[in-house]
Structure 1
């Protein structure tokens, strides 16, 4: 675990071996010459001029602390350089040509390559609108988003009510995203857009196409700030898609049968498929769905699924 201090695995293994041994004759370490030279360079080990010459480990609490402090100074210097470069970057923005502030992306390959770059650029937050058309399966888990969530990056997304949410299996995928830490709302959004606080913004150009063949990657901080302000307007107007904390009254809790039926319903199964899976008749399936709609005060199946989410019916229970 000493890699952050600049040691390779081989160097760490040798160091740990020497820590638990008495001074070792130089001749015994001839096969470890490369790793040994690095430990000497880092002042973790020293060569004592005895007969024969021996390598001695310096006290780890002192030597490793010195090395750690050295690393801290290097990181501090790197941060200062980062700030300097950031100031230079933003100071030069006004002098850059418009073509340098907006990249035009053409084709599936360029567009696919840009999304990881945008998500990984975020320091604190990614926000945006989710709307069709989709390049990939909209129900597929975005592993990169999960990794960023674990790092503490916030994700806020407004999902289009008709084109994005009202699709077979989509609501179940959104529920999983919320469980992973995403903040989601539902509303009417005009197009797909993703914004990183780098700042960077991705906007598809041909929004009427069935697939995005052209898109814009915007670097200009002023333009990105404008799009972010527009996002906030839609975010404030959207309906939160969230679950309760599981403390709903016992009378409002779903039965095991209702939970199984909801999972199938929101995964896009037909009545016939749900009946076959549950061992029911189609009539029984429809009866249970109508019963849930009545309990949830919902006019449609989609509304029933949405209300089930709001009431925490689909939360995992231990």
Structure 2
């Protein structure tokens, strides 16, 4: 029972007998398990050393089992830590192996990964192994609902890993994506920008590995490439950096209250130096190229509310087109 946790037979059998018969002696446990007394004594010594049992005073000595959830749970936690360390070492060795093998085995520069579950696992591995920086293109569709896959990124951000992510305007307008994912990530330090379109989904870890879908136009990602150090990886990084320079920053989302919690008040009055929080968010989404319908989805407004806000904003700027409103907002330093 406990072999997988590093305790050999008959430790598991003796522990189970001790759980069923608290304060048993070595002899009683040997009889209950049908093993020699010496074997039972050796097993008890191991159980005590591992914290799974305790010895009570008196003669003959008697033993008491530790609570299984604490005792076995602790051993499971230790083994999981060991497995994580082994996995990290494996990735480091594999990176060295690929780097030294590419001269004679160029096919090792690209792996094919099949299936959503395996792709998700490799993406998580890349993020977990990152020590400095993550680059990413983010665009729909999404397999999981917004907010369900952000725990790992949040842990990495809290550890000081830099995230630079370019979102497509469709991603920003995706229901729940802005509120549940993007805004919280920006608050933790993510460097977020938006482009009308991004070429594909992309994740690059420490400029050493990348994941891209096999087909950029797939409605559901079922196959992907893992790209290792190579000219192809260099090209993907150059593509990201070029798109980054052209993208609009979303850092104005940091610290702003939820749009859904505010009333749709008019834009900031003429002559004010800064807009209110909701107007700033509206301007960012407007500048990113979202339609009124997309802005409504992103901010959780009704379509009529969005149109009313846009009309108030255009009156504030004396603009007759959305483009003119965007130019005026930039001239005032609002975006």
TM-score by length of 1: 0.54
**CA pair 256-268 structure 1, distance change in 2 beyond 3 A:** closer
Contact persistence 1:124–1:153 (CA under 8 A):
yes
Match of 2:172 among 155, 165, 172: 165
Alignment of structure 1 residues 198-209 onto 2, 5 Å: 199-209=208-218
C-alpha contact (below 8 Å) 2:252/2:280 kept by paired residues: no
Per-residue deviation, residues 225-263 of structure 1 (Å, max 9, x unmatched): 2211121111112222222999x999355569979999x
CA distance in 1 between counterparts of 2:278 and 2:168 reads: 30
Q: 2:302 aligns with which of 262, 270, 281?
A: 270
For the 8 Å contact 2:146–2:176, the answer to whether it is kept is no
Counterparts in 2 of 1:164 and 1:261: CA distance versus 1, 3 Å = closer
CA gap of 1:94–1:189, structure 2 versus 1, over 3 A, is same
Pairs within 5 Å for 1:110-189:
110-138=118-146, 140=148, 142-161=150-169, 163-172=170-179, 173-187=181-195, 188-189=197-198
Q: Distance in 1 between matches of 2:131 and 2:202?
A: 18
Label 1:114 to 1:251 Cα distance change in 2 as closer, same or farther (>3 A): same
Is residue 210 of structure 1 aligned with residue 219 of structure 2?
yes
Match of 1:242 in 2: 251
1:116-163 superposed Cα distances (whole Å, 9 cap, x missing partner): 1011121100002112222222455611111111111111111123x3
Cα distance 1:251–1:203, how it changes in 2: closer, same or farther (>3 A)? same
Matches of 1:285 and 1:88, distance apart in 2: 55
1:85 CA drift (Å): 9.0
CA distance in 1, matches of 2:278, 2:244: 35
Query: Which residue is 1:291 aligned to?
Result: 312
CA distance in 2, matches of 1:134, 1:83: 30
Deviations 1:55-96 (A, max 9, x none): xxxxxxxxxxxxxxxxxxxxxxxxxxx999976652333223
Q: Deviation of residue 175 (structure 1)?
A: 2.9
Flag the 1:245–1:164 CA change in 2: closer, same or farther, 3 A: closer
Correspondences of 1:245-256 after superposition (within 5 Å): 251-253=272-274
> Given the superposition, is the C-alpha separation of residues 287 and 128 from structure 1 closer, same or farther in structure 2, using an over 3 Å criterion?
closer
| Contact 1:101–1:219 (Cα < 8 Å) also in 2 | yes
Native 8 Å contact 1:132 1:191 kept in 2: no
**Unaligned 5+ runs, structure 1:** 1-29, 36-81, 272-281, 313-318
Structure 2 unpaired stretches of 5+: 1-44, 51-90, 256-267, 284-294
1:46-57 pair list within 5 angstroms: none
Question: Secondary structure of the residue that 1:104 maps to in structure 2?
Answer: strand
Matched position secondary structure for 1:251: coil
Distance 2:250 2:278 in 1: 24
C-alpha separation in 1, matches of 2:164 and 2:190:
6
Distance 1:183 1:234 in 2: 14
TM-score by length of structure 2 reads 0.52
